[in-house]
Structure 1
Amino acid sequence: MKVLLSINPEHVENIFRGVKTFEFRRKVFARKDVRTVVVYCTMPVGRIVGEFDIDTILEDAPDEIWEKTQFGSGITKDFFDQYFSERKVAYALKIGEVREYKEYIDPKEVLDNFSPPQSYMYMKEERRKLDCSDQLEFW
């Protein structure tokens, strides 16, 4: 199963360069069969730009997550602390194999009623537009 995550351009660039090896989330998917993240790069890019496999998902108190991930975080401690402010639990997706697409995809051309997800969106076949190309594999 794949999920689509909205990630800002700076972090997307760091993921594809290998600088950011963890993607942080305040909440994680309910389904346990999610193996791949489809990356939607937020505005001003506004495109699906690639994907990465999830090596593992860490769950712990924010301070513990920072200790385990700081050298692959791609962010500052201040940014991390602000993101997880008031949270008791933090999640870190350890990024596995990364695949940047040669041609970026306009999500409105492949997904019905697309709006960028606040947390995540399952890539279900039912969401695929009937007339779209097969450049984006859903499952």
Structure 2
Amino acid sequence: MIGRHDVLISIYPEFAEAILRGEKTVELRRRIPGLRSGMRMWIYATKPVGAILGYAMVGGVSKGPPEKMWKIFGDSTGIEREHFDSYFLDSSVAVCITLTGVREGVPLPSHEFKRVRPSFHPPQLFTRISDAEAEYLDKMLFPMEFAAEA
């Protein structure tokens, strides 16, 4: 699992929880992130949670006019049409990131992640993380798997 150029993305807590519950399978963005199918995307829930909660695999990234993207992905976005329209107001492109393989872990507060990245600040969009940082997240969020190996 390590070495696939993992990323960490900031998501509002209510949407992060909806992803982890499987109710939201498409993440929306106004800008086109440099993500590819198969990348692991760690989910950072913004304040007041302020913790990394788990990850999802990027199934694909689609972009197009908001109206078209709503027709294709609307039911998977976890939001109402009014919220979608408000979010993409004045945007000519809607980016839809399809999420698969969602895993919830033991929440890791952002200050704990600073042990491996002292300069960590939650990203506006997303940030790439190193193999060592991804390995740390694996061990911290999924401790039982690593305890079994020991």
1:9 aligns with 2:13: yes
SS in 2 for 1:118: coil
Kindly tell me: are residues 80 and 100 of structure 1, through their superposed partners in 2, closer, same or farther at Cα, counting changes over 3 Å?
A: same
Counterpart secondary structure, 1:113: coil
**C-alpha deviations, 1:27-78, integer Å up to 9, x for none?**
2323647611100011111000000001111111111111001111100111
Among 71, 74, 86, the alignment partner of 2:75 is: 71
Secondary structure of residue in 2 paired with 1:136 = helix
Q: Which runs of 4+ in 1 moved over 6 A?
A: none
Please tell me whether the aligned partners of residues 61 and 95 of structure 2 are also in contact (alpha carbons under 8 angstroms). Answer: yes
Q: Distance in 1 between matches of 2:31 and 2:40?
A: 16
Instruction: Pick closer, same or farther for the CA change 1:32–1:21 going to 2, 3 Å.
Output: closer
2:56–2:99 CA contact under 8 A, matched in 1: yes
Instruction: State the 1:85 CA deviation.
Output: 1.1
Contact 2:56 2:101 (8 Å CA) reproduced? yes
Q: Residue 3 of structure 1 contacts residue 122 of structure 1 at CA under 8 Å; is this kept in 2? A: yes
Q: In structure 2, do the counterparts of structure 1 residues 91 and 31 end up closer, same or farther at CA, with 3 Å as the change threshold?
A: closer
2:43 to 22, 39, 46: 39
RMSD: 1.8
Helix, strand or coil at the partner of 1:108: helix
Q: Is structure 2 residue 112 aligned with structure 1 residue 109? A: yes
2:96 maps to 1:95: no
Unaligned runs of 5+ in 2: 139-150
Structure 1 SS opposite 2:137? coil
The CA distance in 2 between the partners of 1:24 and 1:88, in whole Å, is 14
**Alignment-derived partner of residue 136 in structure 1:** 137
Q: TM-score, normalised by structure 2?
A: 0.79
Q: 1:122 aligns with which of 112, 128, 131?
A: 128
Aligned-pair distance for 1:125? Answer: 4.5
Q: Given residue 121 of structure 2, which amino acid in structure 1 is its aligned partner?
A: S
Structure having the higher helix fraction is: 2
TM-score, length basis structure 1:
0.85
Deviations 1:72-111 (A, max 9, x none): 110011111111111111110111110000x211233222
| Structure 1 gap segments, 5+ residues each | 129-133
